[in-house]
Amino acid sequence: MNQPAPPPPVAALDPAGRGLRIRFFWQGDRFGHVIERVDGDAVTAELTSIESDAEADWPESPPLQQLSVETIGTTTTALGVGAAARSHWSISVHPTDRGGVPALQFDVAARCSSAERGFLGSRYQRCGTAVAIEPLGDIAATELEETAGAIELRPASSDGTTIRWAYLVA
């Protein structure tokens, strides 16, 4: 697979130019991402997705091989899809406002054809301490676990063929 150019970042910024952005980068056979805190011209990495190699049937994070940034209404949204083994993943990331605080909202799904499943979820390495992650149970029941600088978000249930998890980074 040829290395595609990364799409532009998606940002959730206040009028003073402070907030968050997600920047995508190509790693191996898929896109990874970093969530950065932005304060004007100052940018600090806060979370980096943990990616697996091409051989992993159940990757550490959704294996996004195609990614685009689209304007839907007035909102800039990243939309991605990918596959590993016999399963397919999709993700959308868009800026939102959480009580006056700029945030990024993630909605992730995996369609699995196998009843025997490995890990399903999103894993991050924490690079900074200025952001918080909140599961969005009103969208999809999601569990969060943080240990030793790593963060894991996963669906509360893995029943069915389409499994979904959602979370907010603010």
User: Mean pLDDT per segment of 10 residues, for the chain of length 170 residues?
Assistant: 86 96 96 97 97 92 96 94 93 95 97 80 94 94 92 89 95
Determine the Cα–Cα distance for residues 49 and 87; give it in Å rounded to an integer: 19
Main-chain phi, psi angles of 152, to 5 degrees: -125, 125
pLDDT value of position 115: 65
pLDDT value of position 148: 84
pLDDT value of position 142: 96
> Which amino acid is located at 98 in the chain?
R
Sequence-separated (6 or more) residues with CB below 8 Å from residue 158 = 117, 120
pLDDT value of position 114: 65
